[in-house]
Amino acid sequence: MFSTTITCLDAYPRSISAIQGLLRGTDFGHLDSKAERNRFQIWMIVHIFASLIALLIARSGGIGVKDFVFAAMT
């Protein structure tokens, strides 16, 4: 489960960054330019904070991490 989480934290912001660049027509998601790398880093930070907030909400609502993972897998 840990390696899956790390893979998702890496791949999802990369794909969002590439899609955003393609929609804007400014780049092709190869992380060659400084703008592409900056956009990727911003998306990475956003997704890390979103995952931490989701875990905090799950813990404060009486939902265990096991139940949270089960719901995510379902």
* Per-residue pLDDT at 27: 65
Digitized pLDDT (tens) for each residue of the chain, 74 residues in all: 677 777 777 777 777 777 777 777 666 556 667 777 787 788 778 888 888 887 787 778 767 777 767 877 77
DSSP string covering 4-71, please?
A: HHHHHHHHHHHHHHHHHHHHHTS--S---SHHHHHHHHHHHHHHHHHHHHHHHHHHHTT--HHHHHHH
Domain ranges of the chain: 2-73
* Per-residue pLDDT at 48: 83
Half-sphere exposure of 24 (CA within 13 A, CB side): 13
- The residue count of the chain comes to 74
pTM value surpassing 0.85: no
